[in-house]
Amino acid sequence: MYTSETVIILEWRKLPAELKDEVSQRHNFANDIFLEHLSEMSPTGEETWQDALVEANFHEYYADQCSTNGYSDSFDTFLREYGLTIDWWLKDQPFDFSGAKRILFRISW
C-alpha cells in the first residue's frame, strides 16, 4: 500500500547562504539526498505548512516562550536561537503550501 501527499522541495544550491548555515548547524548530511525540514513550527495532525507558516503563529510562540520560560531576547534573536529563520523566510516565499505536510531540501552540489 502507498500514500500520496503534497511535498515542497527546496533546491539546496538556491537557498540563501544564511539558511544553508542554519541547516548545516543542525544536520550532518551528504550529497544527493533529501532532508526533511522539521521545526517547532512544523504542522501537526491535519495542519499543513500553509496553516503553520502564519506570522501570528510565530509571534504567539514567541510570547508563549517569554511568559512560560522567561525568554527575554528580541524577536529576531528568538528566531535565530530557536532555529526558525528558515520558517520565517518560507512564510514570505511564493510557494503553494496548501496541502503540503512536508518540506524537503534536495541536497546536491
Report percent pLDDT > 90 for the chain: 63
Q: Could you report the per-residue pLDDT of 16-40, keeping only the tens digit for each?
A: 988 888 888 777 777 788 889 999 9
Q: Would you list the domain boundaries of the chain?
A: 6-107
pLDDT confidence bin for 6, thresholds 50/70/90? confident
Give 87: exposed, middle or buried? Use CB within 10 Å, 0-12, 13-18, 19+: buried
CA dist 21 → 8, 25, 56, 58, 62 (Å): 20, 6, 26, 21, 22
Question: What's the predicted TM-score (pTM) here?
Answer: 0.85
Residue 97: predicted pLDDT: 92
Query: What are the E-state strand segments in the chain?
Result: 6-11, 33-36, 100-107
Please name which of 42, 34, 29 lies closest in space to residue 86, comparing C-alpha atoms. Answer: 42
